[in-house]
Chains A and B, each alone.
Chain A
Amino acid sequence: MSSSVDTIRGLAEQEYKWGFVTDIAEDRAPKGLNEDIIRLISARKQEPEWMLEWRLNALRHWFRMRREEGEPKWANLTIAPIDYQAISYYSAPKQKPQLENLDQVDPEILRTYEKLGIPLTEQKLLAGVAVDAVFDSVSVATTFKGKLAEMGVIFCSFSEAVQKHPELVKKYLGSVVPHTDNFYAALNAAVFTDGSFVYVPKGVRCPMELSTYFRINAAETGQFERTLIVADEGATVSYLEGCTAPIRDENQLHAAVVELVALDNAQIKYSTVQNWYPGDKEGRGGIYNFVTKRGKCLGVNSKISWTQVETGSAITWKYPSCILQGDNSVGEFYSVALTNNRQQADTGTKMIHIGKNTRSTIVSKGISAGYGQNTYRGQVKIMKSATGARNYTQCDSLLIGDRCGAHTFPYIEVRNATARMEHEASTSKIGENQLFYLRQRGLTAEDAVSMIVNGFCKTVFKELPMEFAVEAQKLLGVSLEGSVG
């Protein structure tokens, strides 16, 4: 992504972020989870009473789920037990120690930045090296915020939205992913500390791609993020999340919730690149990324499109989904998930067709290398009311080496005879003949694999915003390192 645009986004976000830090007296809550902790979080954030009640309600439900059923067990994942009482659920964002120059940064990390083509200034920011001049154009940030405000677009932190736009938050929070939805969604509802909020008013086409965090900030996103995006009638918005730079985090468990709401004729495009720390070659360490993402096409002719590139995390459990409630609404899911070494991913989507003539498209590309295990899990449900519904699913797996695995679980439920369903699936191995062909032309085995994999993912990458796509391609190459040899 062009760094100037990013810089602007980053500055816009920074304003609240750093301001927020100074409000906080204490740095970190004691470990453990109980009602007092929730009250503490809510108090620190000076939340209104209704917000606290909402959290407490979720917490009680979570305790009940934990007692009665525990974590979801249906995924094709091996997860070491998580001690929820050993986690500190609140800590103020801290600034990283400043280094003098890039020589002080781990050369391994620098090499990765270089391969990803991250500009020098951003490398410094990412690594916590002091930067001057380039970043101090506050006026640019003001212009950015000003322009959005002029059009009535609200783009702020979740905390700020609770304070300034309580009526919108109250109306839509939990309307797509209720706290009862699943174990991690309940946990998130109770303890979430921050995230982003977007509201695009009627008829407004958001003039720029919105990005949660500039890369540097992404390194500090919360463990339990909450995002809510509402596109009012006829509104359009494109939102980018994540970044390609490898992100390390002390917190092993990440349980985010993202809710999207599209009213009549509205369109939301949500793109993610996720590259959390995957753990080492033997599978030690690494992030557990347990995310609930769902969009509701509430209005007629509305459209929600998810595009994701998942290369990081030790374990990914994630199913960005669409509820197609409005007549003629459209849901899309384009996904690339790569697992290398000991990584595991169980990811896919749910398309729930309720309205008439609703259409959904699913394109999933799973790549497994090393000992990686990659599962596609998708559900397409055509309700009785969904006359004329259509779904197209394409689900391809690519294996590199013979110690990895690819698994596909498509669930199809059709209750209306007029539905039209198309399903295509394939599993292939990177052919020795393809590798040899590329190597005969002068490419290294590693570059050859990277090229073949990028070709395999092409249909998904072309859904990403241009600059994001370029980065995603490089990211795949880097993530595949050591997968041949």
Chain B
Amino acid sequence: MALLEIQDLHASVGGHEILKGVNLTLNAGEVHSIMGPNGSGKSTLAQVLARRETYEVTRGRVLFDGKDLLDMQPEEAAREGLFMAFQYPVEIPGIGNAYFLRSALNAIRKHRGQDELDAMDFLPLYKERMKLLEMDDKLMNRAVNEGFSGGEKKRNEILQMTVLEPKLAILDETDSGLDIDALRIVAQGVNAMRSPERAFLVITHYQRLLDYITPDFVHVLVDGKIVRSGGPELALELEDKGYGSAEVDAPEALHA
């Protein structure tokens, strides 16, 4: 059974149809990359999957681990193991990063029938993952994303992913805004998480991320539809020729 199965997904925001029939299947253990021009609907797809209410699904079906994802609230999807690294991470003033993350982890653990972790249990885990991402200790107890630099925010998203250990991680342009070193570190974080039980959906504009995280599949989203799919070489081709060339091919064949 596929981990994520998207069938003919249509979604609109503010009355505008943005997704116009997306089909996509991810199996556990796979890394898929989605590329596509600005405004083509990549973030929309990510947020629809994460169940953001501002996006209205008008047609289609999504199964996540065999369950109807479109029937879930955002927190239900999260507890079932869906994680989205935000293109624009949000600040939560006054709430410590560690406290926030422990609350989130406990909500998920509780859902799985596991014991909740107290601050003492959580700290070693948190510290270890911070080290993995080479994050400065001074960020440890700062408020969630408050005053973080753009790159620090993105790293913090990956930190959260490594602590929450989702089944499906959707990374929405996690690479943009990262310097070369940060990019390598973030990619390491992702690679350390790759496993046969887990899948990734990596949204990016740049090949340079895919140099580190080699995807199994690359899809091109244009105007709310996947117009082409292929292997890692597709990303290189796009880098070379741009998206214009992608639209020529009929996408359906690649999905069979």
Contact = CB atoms under 8 A, between A and B. Distances in A.
Contact of B104 (A433, A441, A457, A459): A441
Interface residues of B, number: 31
B239 interface: no
B75 A439 contact: yes
Given A431-B90, A434-B90, A441 B160 contact: yes
Contact of B164 (A432, A436, A442, A455): A442
Nearest to A428: B93
Interface stretch (A195-203, A291-299, A410-418, A445-453): A445-453
A135 interface: no
Interface in B46-83: 50, 52-54, 73-75, 77-79, 83
A444 interface: yes
Interface in B128-157: 143
B250 interface: no
B95 interface: yes
Among B52, B86, B105, B160, max chain A CB count under 10 A is at B52
Contacts of A457: 94
Contacts of A454: 94-95
A458 interface: yes
Contacts of A432: 53-54
A439 B103 contact: no
A397 to B, nearest CB: 14
Interface string A448-485: 00011011111100000000000000000000000000
A443 interface: yes
B95 A442 contact: no
A443 B164 CA distance: 13
B107 interface: yes
Contacts, number: 78
B255 interface: no
Given A432-B54, A433-B90, A443 B107 contact: yes
A439 B100 CA distance: 11
A2 interface: no
B73 A441 contact: no
A444 B104 CA distance: 10
A459 B94 CA distance: 8
B104 A452 contact: no
B118 to A, nearest CB: 14
Given A436-B74, A437-B89, A442 B84 contact: no
Contact of A440 (B50, B93, B100, B103): B50
A458 B91 CA distance: 15
Contacts of B79: 442
B127 interface: no
Contacts of A443: 75, 103-104, 107
B43 to A, nearest CB: 12
Contacts of A131: none
Among A438, A454, A459, max chain B CB count under 10 A is at A438
A77 B224 CA distance: 52
A440 B77 CA distance: 8
A45 to B, nearest CB: 46
A445 B74 CA distance: 9
Nearest to A459: B94
Among A431, A455, A457, max chain B CB count under 10 A is at A455
Contact of A437 (B53, B73, B77, B86): B86
A455 B108 contact: no
Contact of A444 (B53, B75, B77, B86): B75
Contacts of A440: 50, 74-75, 77-78, 83-84, 86
B92 A455 contact: yes
Given A440-B74, A440-B78, A441-B78, A447 B92 contact: no
Contact of B100 (A433, A451, A456): A451
Contacts of B90: 431, 433-434, 436-437
Contact of B103 (A445, A451, A452): A451
Contacts of B77: 440
Contacts of B91: 434
Contacts of B53: 432, 436
Given A439-B78, A443-B104, A455 B160 contact: no
Given A436-B74, A437-B86, A455-B143, A442 B104 contact: yes
Nearest to A462: B94
22 contacts: A431-B90, A432-B53, A434-B90, A436-B74, A437-B92, A440-B50, A441-B83, A441-B164, A442-B75, A442-B107, A443-B75, A445-B73, A445-B75, A447-B107, A451-B92, A451-B95, A451-B103, A452-B95, A454-B95, A455-B94, A455-B143, A456-B94
Given A440-B77, A443-B107, 18 more contacts: A432-B54, A434-B91, A437-B86, A439-B75, A440-B74, A441-B104, A441-B160, A441-B164, A442-B75, A442-B79, A442-B107, A443-B75, A444-B75, A444-B107, A451-B100, A455-B143, A456-B94, A458-B95
Interface of B: 50, 52-54, 73-75, 77-79, 83-84, 86, 89-95, 100-101, 103-105, 107-108, 111, 143, 160, 164
